[in-house]
């Protein structure tokens, strides 16, 4: 569709406490926990850059200095690696963020919820449609990344979207849940969205994963939304308020999503990414086979 505003900015709310990974997250932000050798936040950044994002907006708390340090240039380390002839490693630390991509940091002073974190980015994002990525939802796609899939759909339709997948019906109280209606083009429009409903009242078992393309108007709605589930300002609630005026699609992505906010999801992701790594695969498989033999 011609004439739709491009999606140039992505917001990464990274100010959460990460209590499920304590004690590690006492001093390391959960987004800095590595899957094999890259922190979760880098996977999300790479997905955003692949989707054409030009400005990365990190919403951090004052305790998240490690994230700033990670994306900052480390001239000393670069010189050290070059002096040791470690060109591959040098390239890896130099290319964390491509040159044409800008990073900005916004401080969320109090942990008042995801909706509040996104609202903190309002001055940087302005009125344009924008993306939100939650780094603890790691999505491994066989081809095109999840956000790029959503951006393409946005360009085709002019309508934003939310990443969704079917979740076990007993787990609706851990997710935003949507119900959908098929439109004339066969796409699923979100009819209703509710934050963490109990299974008995959930409108479906389509769970929201941490990928959104939202209109800039969400900021003024977030301004007036009251605290919801958990006493927090919920992004879901603001989306629900403006669905009638700003329709959104439910995007069923091509790929596997790992809930890296949970220990199980984190370990599964680690195993699957390690199995994709040429150096690790063989060793890991023989380790599993030994474990299996010792059980029999």
Residues that bind ligand G1P (CB under 6 A): 114, 134, 137, 175-176, 195, 207-210, 234-236, 261
Residue with Cβ nearer ligand G1P (45 or 162): 162
Residue with Cβ nearer ligand G1P (81 or 117): 117
What is the 8-class DSSP label of residue 23? T
Residue 289's SS3 state is helix
Q: How far is the CB of 68 from ligand G1P (least distance, A)?
A: 22
Q: How far is the CB of 113 from ligand G1P (least distance, A)?
A: 8
Residue with Cβ nearer ligand G1P (159 or 238): 238
Question: Taken in order 188, 190, 191, 194, is the CA torsion positive or negative?
Answer: positive
Residue nearest ligand G1P (C-beta atom): 176
Q: How far is the CB of 36 from ligand G1P (least distance, A)?
A: 21
Strand partners, 256: 140
Q: How far apart are CA 88 and CA 81, in angstroms?
A: 9
Rounded to 5°, the CA angle 84-87-89 comes to: 95
Residue with Cβ nearer ligand G1P (29 or 176): 176
Buried b / exposed e along 75-101 (16+ C-beta atoms within 10 A)? eeeeeebeeeeeeeebeeeeebbeeee
Residue with Cβ nearer ligand G1P (106 or 235): 235
HEC letters along 197-233: CCHHHCCCCEEEEEEEEECCCHHHHHHHCCCCHHHCC
Q: How far apart are CA 199 and CA 290, in angstroms?
A: 41
CB 139, CB 257: distance < 8 Å:
yes
Q: How far is the CB of 16 from ligand G1P (least distance, A)?
A: 7
Q: How far apart are CA 156 and CA 275, in angstroms?
A: 36
Residue with Cβ nearer ligand G1P (51 or 208): 208
Q: How far is the CB of 52 from ligand G1P (least distance, A)?
A: 23
Under 8 Å CB-to-CB from 280, ≥6 apart: which residues? 36, 274
Residue with Cβ nearer ligand G1P (31 or 137): 137
Question: Alpha-carbon dihedral of residues 135, 138, 141, 144, nearest 10 degrees?
Answer: 0
Could you tell me the CA-to-CA distances from 131 to 47, 184, 218 in Å, in that order?
A: 11, 25, 12
Residue with Cβ nearer ligand G1P (32 or 136): 136
Q: How far is the CB of 209 from ligand G1P (least distance, A)?
A: 5
Q: How far is the CB of 2 from ligand G1P (least distance, A)?
A: 32
Q: How far is the CB of 176 from ligand G1P (least distance, A)?
A: 3
């Amino acid at each position: 569709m011609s004439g739709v505003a491009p999606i140039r900015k992505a917001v990464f709310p990274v100010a959460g406490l990460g209590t499920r990974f304590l004690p590690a997250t006492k001093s390391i932000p959960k987004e800095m926990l590595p899957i094999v050798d890259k922190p979760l936040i880098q996977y999300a950044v790479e997905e955003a850059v692949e989707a054409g994002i030009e400005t990365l907006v990190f919403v951090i708390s004052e305790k998240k200095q490690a994230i700033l340090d990670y994306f900052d240039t480390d001239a000393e380390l670069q010189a050290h690696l070059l002096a040791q002839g470690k060109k591959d490693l040098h390239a890896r630390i130099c290319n964390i963020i491509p040159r044409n991509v800008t990073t900005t940091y916004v401080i969320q002073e109090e942990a008042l919820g995801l909706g509040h974190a996104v609202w903190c980015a309002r001055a940087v994002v302005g009125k344009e449609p924008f993306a939100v990525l939650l780094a603890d939802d790691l999505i491994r796609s066989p081809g095109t990344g999840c956000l790029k899939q959503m951006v393409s759909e946005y360009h085709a339709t002019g309508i934003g979207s939310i990443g969704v997948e079917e979740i076990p019906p007993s787990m609706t109280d851990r997710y935003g849940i949507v119900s959908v209606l098929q439109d004339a083009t066969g796409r699923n429009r979100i009819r209703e969205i509710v934050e963490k409903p109990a299974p008995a009242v959930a409108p479906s078992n389509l769970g929201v994963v941490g990928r959104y393309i939202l209109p800039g108007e969400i900021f003024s709605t977030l301004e007036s939304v009251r605290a919801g589930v958990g006493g927090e300002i919920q992004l879901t609630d603001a989306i629900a308020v403006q669905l009638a005026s700003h329709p959104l699609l439910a995007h069923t992505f091509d790929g596997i999503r790992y809930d890296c906010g949970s220990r199980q999801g984190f370990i599964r992701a680690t195993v699957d990414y390690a199995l994709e790594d040429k150096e690790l695969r063989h060793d890991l498989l023989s380790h599993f086979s030994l474990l299996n033999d010792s059980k029999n």
